[in-house]
Amino acid sequence: MALNPAQLNRLRTFGIRSLMVIGLLVLLFFLGYFGFRTKVMDWGLTKAKTKIYEKYRIVLSVEEAGFEGFSSMHIKGVSLVPDQMDTLFKVQDLRLTFSFWQACLGDLKLNSFALSDGYLQLVKHGQIRNFESLLHPFGDPKTEKEKESPKEKNYAARFYKMISRFLNKIPNNLVLKNFGIKGVDDTRFFSFLLTDTQLLDQKLNAQIAVSSNSVQQNWQLMGDLNLSEKTATILFEGANQEIVQIPYLFERFGLKAGFKSIKLELDEVKMAGKELKVNGQASVSQLLVNHPKIASQDVVVNNAAFDFDYLIGPQFISLDSSSRIQLNDFVIHPFIKFENATDTVFSLSVVTEESAAQNFINALPEGLFTHIRGMKASGDFSYRLDFVYNENKPQEMIFESNLSKKGLKIEQFGEANLNKMNGEFVHYPYENGRPTRPIVVGVSNPNFTPLAFISPFLAKCVLTTEDPSFFYHRGFVTEAFRQSIVKNIRTGKFKRGASTISMQLVKNVFLTREKTMARKLEEILLVYILENNYIVPKDRMLEVYFNIIEWGPNVYGIGEAAEFYFKKHPSQLTLSECLYLATIIPRPKGFMWRFNSDGTAKDYLEKSYHYLANKMLFRQWILPTDTIGLTHQVQLTGPALLKVKKSEPDSLLSDSMLQMEMNTITEQE
């Protein structure tokens, strides 16, 4: 229906008046904004100062703050100083711009952020730390109601929210000039001075001057950051292509670490249903690590790449098996999962792609496997390790290791020539990290005793205490590993190992006594090569073992041991004497505490002797007639008697050592 002129005139008048009202409201709003924003800012600063002090006992100071233009702020002289402690944070000049309309909606989004001449300082003197209150705020942040009914865990939602908030707070344009991050720990210090850092139009460029007690370097970061898409590519390296040295770690932990370059690519961060997916790639060149617990020399990985695919659900966090680690031409697929639903479950799988054996040898880090260096192998293999541990059902732990091989053969040994054990060789025992007198393992040594001339009781006793399945396993006992892991996890300490005679033999013949991760890994690898390539027969391995291990102070080999304790040939040893010798292998230098000053054994040893004899009877390794007259009472008649007479052992120490012995023996089952 058409409007008449009077109606059109009234409608036009209404529109004009409405626009005038809206314009007036906008004008009043901006007048109010410009008129009261300084007061609002002052009110906000006062409230922030009060809240920060009440919660953290930290004084916030601002020398000058004001607006520049419509949505820009300029702040000077900002500091955070904990009560009676060193300054935590200080900055001379700070400029920022923000999204006005988002701020009106309660979401402060910075468009630009420029900071110059400032520092964040973490100071620790003894037990006093200037950042302590940040870790442990004053007052209980949770109410009693919240404590009684905690919120349901949702790892995916929490991680996504945390990542989104962090990225959302990063301004599109960021400039940092001469801003330092410093740490002081008594006499140790480190400093990262961001001399010139810029994030402009998604391009990152950072120049960092690094210093510590032992490091003076310049680093640089370059890359692309797309904050809205949650993707990034960052290259981290030293200026002038020098090796990056990580400061403070050496002074604090004795750890030397560095690399030539690290590249990180973040391809995807997104929620898919109730699960969060994070994937990308990382690579490192010339990674260097040195620590006395790792190896006695630098460990170097020339090139390594890691394609990661994390999957996080409401009640689990996992590294998916589609992830891959590549060292040269050798590829590993790891799977790690932490699940916290009904039970807390840890899962781990390591799967290698079928690969040439030589590719594996070539991929081993320099300095970590020195005894494998120079080894040549032919054939292919693949490997799989599966581990599952349920905190509420520890005895149901899964530990499975499987290696598949095709034509695998050792063509040339490295520095550790495993084949030498098949003939006569010279063995150097280690004492306090140094080799002692040479021991010839062969017939040219009058104390060398072939296995056929050693009392058969000794092999049965030693196998009972050290490795009952020696003649049947191929270097390792999976069940022993499983039980060892369960016990160590439950106690929270390394209280039980799973060492076989094969492992002890390799450790004694080829490796030093240094307690490093490298030595243990070499031990495992050499044992596998020795046993699974049938390099040395089992009888010969046991023969070498008996003729090189330590049986007492400076007593090596069973020939010396039989003479030292009983003035006998090893073929003449009785069951009781063999039981004694078997039980001192873990601690041979402490044999004296077992005896009285006249060389007779102490009475409380009888329990362990009968316990071991019953185990051998159960396995049908000895006959009931062998135990007739069995007694713990062995009599020292050799040079060992003189050492006992010179040092009467303490009875309390003896009881303690006996308990340790019984624990060791019973844990072999």
> Whole-angstrom Cα distance, residue 517 to residue 523?
10
Over range 629-636, report the average pLDDT: 82
Which residue, 609, 546, 541, is CA-closest to 580?
609
Instruction: Classify residue 312 as exposed, middle or buried by CB count within 10 Å of its CB (0-12, 13-18, 19+).
Output: buried
Residue-wise pLDDT for 147-173, tens only, equals 444 456 789 999 998 888 888 778 888
- pLDDT tens digits, 517-556: 888 888 888 998 888 888 999 999 999 999 999 999 899 9
Average pLDDT, the chain: 84
Give the pLDDT confidence score for residue 541 in this predicted structure: 95
Query: Other C-beta atoms within 10 Å of 373: how many?
Result: 13
pLDDT of residue 20: 54
Indicate whether this model's pTM tops 0.85. Answer: no
Give, for 82, the enclosing helix (H) or strand (E).
strand 72-82
User: Which pLDDT tens digit goes with each residue over 302-322?
Assistant: 999 999 999 999 999 999 999
According to the model, what pLDDT value does residue 668 have?
A: 47
* Predicted confidence (pLDDT) per residue in 267-302, tens digit: 999 998 899 999 999 999 999 999 988 888 899 999
pLDDT higher at 447 or 436 = 447
The CA-based angle 574-579-581, given to 5 degrees, is 95
pLDDT for position 3 = 58
Position 4 confidence tier, pLDDT thresholds 50, 70, 90: low
Secondary structure of 111-161 in HEC code, one letter for each residue = EEEEEEEEEEEEEEECCEECCHHHHCCCCCCCCHHHHHCCCCCCHHHHHHH
Least confidently predicted of 58-72, 239-253, 259-273, 285-299: 58-72
Residue 31 has what pLDDT?
A: 45
pLDDT greater than 60 at residue 66: yes
pLDDT: is 519 or 260 the higher one?
260
Contacts of 230 (CB under 8 A, 6+ apart): 163, 164, 167, 266, 268, 269, 270
Distance CA 216, CA 239 (A): 12
Q: How many CB atoms lie within 10 A of CB 70?
A: 10
Is pLDDT larger for residue 666 or for residue 463? 463
Please give the share of the chain, as a percent, with pLDDT higher than 70.
84
Total residues found in the chain within this entry: 669
In this predicted model, what pLDDT tens digit does every residue of 554-608 receive, in sequence order?
999 999 999 999 999 999 999 999 999 998 998 888 888 888 888 888 887 788 8
With tokens 């019984």, the residue in question is: 662
422: helix, strand or coil: helix
Q: Which pair of structure tokens corresponds to residue 394? A: 């520890």
Residue 232 scores a pLDDT above 90: yes
> For the residues 37-41, what does the mean pLDDT come to?
71
Q: Where are the beta strands (DSSP E) in 239-290?
A: 244-245, 256-259, 261-272, 275-290
Query: What span, in angstroms and rounded, lies between the C-alpha atoms of 183 and 193?
Result: 12
pLDDT in tens, 489-516: 666 655 445 689 999 999 889 887 777 8
Structure tokens at 608: 């362990």
pLDDT at res. 18: 53
Average pLDDT of the residues in 341-367? 90
Per-residue pLDDT at 38: 73
What distance in Å separates the CA atoms of residue 553 and residue 85, rounded to the nearest whole number?
A: 56
Distance (Å, whole) CA 347 – CA 317: 11
Q: How many distinct helices (H) and strands (E) make up the chain?
A: 17, 28
What domains can be seen in the chain, in order of their start residue?
A: 153-314 (no CATH), 342-415 (no CATH), 416-666 (1.10.3810.10)
Give the C-alpha separation, 361 to 357, whole Å.
7
Residues 422, 441: Cα–Cα separation, whole Å:
10
Q: What mean pLDDT comes out for the span 348-376?
A: 89
Q: How many CA atoms lie within 13 A of 596 on its CB side?
A: 11
Contact 243, 260 (CB under 8 A): yes
The whole-number average pLDDT for the span 347-355 is: 93
User: Residue 144's pLDDT is what?
Assistant: 43
362 within 8 A of 356, measured Cβ to Cβ: no
Could you tell me which residues come within 8 angstroms of residue 82 by beta carbon, excluding any fewer than 6 positions away?
Answer: 56, 57, 58, 59, 88, 130, 131, 132, 133
**Mode of pairing for the β-strands spanning 344-352 and 324-327:** unpaired
pLDDT of residue 32: 47
Beta strands 110-125 and 173-185, pairing class: parallel
| Amino acid occupying residue 638 | G
Q: Which amino acid is at 166?
A: F
- pLDDT by residue (tens digit) across 430-444? 877 677 889 999 999
From 119, 40, 43, 108, select the one nearest 78 (Cα to Cα).
119
84-107 average pLDDT score: 76
